[in-house]
Amino acid sequence: MEELTNWVLDLRGSGWSFAVVALVLLIGGVVTFLPSQSLVVALSALTAGDQGWTALINLFGLFAFCVVGMVLGDIGTYWLARGVGFGKWSWMNGRRLTAVRTRVGDQLKTRPKWVMVTVRLLPMGRIATVLAASDARMPMPRFLPLSVLASAVWVGYAVVIGAVFGSFSTDNPLLMMVLAVVTAIALGLLAQVVNGWLEKLTDRRKADVAS
């Protein structure tokens, strides 16, 4: 256990570890099953264990790397969908993902910022918003700022969760990492449940109005 702890601590403030997480976020634009959020939260918890300004500087560096990786991944997914019809492939048209894409597409014209940011915080939300933007033929000059905004909010959310736990106790870095990741997963599941309830409520209201 001591060797594992020392190995994990060596990752603290490491530029290559930031680059690896950024690469995972880039690839995660297409490979949706990668544990992107868990990696960001875990590394944030570990990085926050540094002292004073070192922790803040490293957390900002992690934030910057992750935002760049996520935005590049969004751009790649967007052009894959536009160029080779990636969004039409069978494994990109599951029931849940298709439902989210449809809802996002319906709202992109009226409140794009709100939709791109909030939906991304939900499971499968990132790929759904990017594919919906591609489906709507959203111009890249309009899509890119929305991607940067949504990515910054998503990464900031994950970094803050990790940093809170990591700064709470520097004596048990592995425990703090695990607690931070479990909390992030629990919050994501809770958000999904609440979102599902709100969608059902909205559908019922629309049905009542129509009748």
CA 190/CA 1 separation, integer angstroms: 33
Token couple for 139: 């111009």
d(CA 192, CA 200): 12
Q: What is the pLDDT of residue 1?
A: 46
Which of 37-46, 87-96, 101-110 shows the lowest mean pLDDT across its residues? 87-96
Q: How far is CA 41 from CA 59, 137, 166, in A?
A: 11, 33, 10
The confidence score (pLDDT) of residue 84 equals 74
Q: Give the pLDDT confidence of 145-167 residue by residue, as tens digits.
A: 999 999 999 999 999 999 999 88
Distance of CA 180 to the CA centre of its chain: 15
Mean pLDDT of all residues in the chain? 81
Res 70: pLDDT: 96
Q: What is the CA radius of gyration of the chain?
A: 19
Q: How confident is the model at residue 6 (pLDDT cuts 50, 70, 90)?
A: low
Residues 98 and 31: their CA atoms lie apart, in Å, by: 17
Burial class (CB in 10 A: 0-12, 13-18, 19+), 207: exposed
User: Per-residue pLDDT tens for 164-180?
Assistant: 998 886 677 778 888 99
